Amino acid sequence: MVFWPTTLSIYWKEPRWRALWAAMIGYMLDAMDVLLYVFAMRAIQTEFSLSNREAGLVSSATLIASSFGGIVAGMLCDRIGRRQTLILTILAYSLASGGTAFSTGLASLIFWRALVGLGLGGEWSAGATLVAESWPAQHRGKAIALMQSGWAIGYMIAALLSSLVLPEYGWRPLFLIGTLPALLTIFVRMGVTEPKIYLDQKAGKQGSLLDLFREPEMARRTIVATVLATSVLFGYWGLNTWLPNFLASPVAQGGAGLGLVKSSTWVIAMQAGAFAGYLTFGWMSDRFGRRPSFAGYVLMAGLLSFLYGTAPQWAGESAPTVLLLLGPFIGFFGTGFFSLFGSMLAELYPTRIRGTGQGFAYNFGRGVSSLAPFLVGAVADAQGLGIALAMNAGFFMLGAVIVFRLPETRNTELDRVT
């Protein structure tokens, strides 16, 4: 069986493909809604007179809420189903994005972005579990990578919308556009079915969050996977929350001095690299294994993060060109490795606690990483954004060591995981 079929009708007729499209588009629109704030940050800071610390606090609130949402959605997946949980989480982030447009200050902004975060974490937990259980072992890495690539597409859509809407209409209409993903729930309702492996297990014993820690081996896997997710998510959010601001900020403030519209072009180039990175990682992890593929990616991500953040200092007048050339590579290596978590975490847990395990390990790590935007903002206030971004390199590199504390799970049949 090949991953890419030659008959186009298969992409709609086969349940596994419908599940993949639903999860991928859901994650794409999820990314768009979350990242609209990143691009609108400077305009919101100006209107509400927010410091970098306060603006970073809003992103941190989103990540804290996404941690809670992802853990709860993981448990819901094991109880009410993968599809139904996916629908609820898409509705959550869509409606909350629209609510952001009516913010009146820091407190209401934190409230609405926290609700967006609930949907962010929950959508990933539901979508990743749905796709992992719908695809066979030999193609699971590639399927998860395609789902995960939706994040890069959503990032590019957010950048494009921001460059078109912000200068002409301001930031409030931008967030009203974020309500449109709610329409996706109609497709999920009509076209997606629960994986057979979940339906077979549903009548049996249901697991709980405590089951992740009852047995020594399961507890060890959960703890190591959680630390791994924490490390690389800290690096990712510390870099990407402030990246558009870094590109748009004046050089005197430690930024690259590109301005809003021009920086959107740089971001789109970076996310094009991220899209390729997701897909390539999926192929590599199915071919060479989850662990070595991940280690290679995050080591390169650490190196490139340092070079990118310090480019205005060492590249001088050539910095804009250097940043444009480095962008696709930092997107490729600094984002593509996330395809690991949807496949490897699913392969570490049995069906009765698969959603719970995936939701906890990944999203607890996301919760801890919520400190990253705030800490980077604090360092940026003191040292400039470029230096603050370069400091994230160590978190990526730490992940290259931790991943080898987990078992290699390539070609794992999910119905045999106990």
Residue 244 confidence (pLDDT): 67
Please provide the average confidence, as pLDDT, over all residues in the chain.
86
Region 106-111 average pLDDT: 94
As given in the structure block, the two tokens for residue 366 are 């996301």
Q: What number is the average pLDDT over the span 179-197?
A: 88
Residue 341 reports pLDDT greater than 90: yes
Give me the DSSP letters along 12-40. Answer: HHSHHHHHHHHHHHHHHHHHHHHHHHHHH
> Average of pLDDT values for 64-74?
91
Sequence ranges of the domains in the chain = 14-416
Do 82 and 129 contact (CB within 8 A), yes or no? yes
- Quote the pLDDT of residue 305: 83
Tell me: the pLDDT tens digits for 88-108?
Answer: 999 999 999 999 999 999 999
- With respect to CATH, is domain 14-416 assigned 3.40.50.2300? no
Instruction: Give pLDDT, residue 106.
Output: 93
Q: Quick one: pLDDT band at residue 20, thresholds 50, 70, 90?
A: very high
Q: What is the pLDDT of residues 128-171, one digit of tens each?
A: 999 999 999 999 999 999 999 998 899 889 988 988 898 889 99
pTM: 0.85
409 in helix, strand or coil? coil
CA distances (Å), origin 82, targets 122, 208, 243? 11, 16, 33
- Once rounded to an integer, what is the mean pLDDT over residues 348-373? 88
Indicate if the pLDDT at residue 276 is higher than 90. yes
Stretch 19-39: mean pLDDT: 90
Higher pLDDT, 270 or 390: 270
Report the share of the chain in percent with pLDDT over 90: 48
- State yes or no: pLDDT of 260 exceeds 60: no
CB burial class (10 A; 0-12, 13-18, 19+) of residue 247?
A: buried
For every residue of 198-220, DSSP letters joined together read: HHHHHTS----TTHHHHSHHHHH
Mean pLDDT, rounded, for 8-33: 86
Give the residue from 329, 306, 316 showing the smallest Cα distance to 387: 306
How far apart CA 277 and CA 322 sit, in angstroms, is 20
pLDDT at 279: 92
Least confident of 8-12, 167-171, 372-376, 380-384: 8-12
- The string of pLDDT tens digits covering residues 382-418 is 776 666 667 778 889 999 999 999 999 998 988 766 6
For residues 383 and 105, give the distance between their C-alpha atoms in angstroms, rounded to a whole number.
Answer: 27
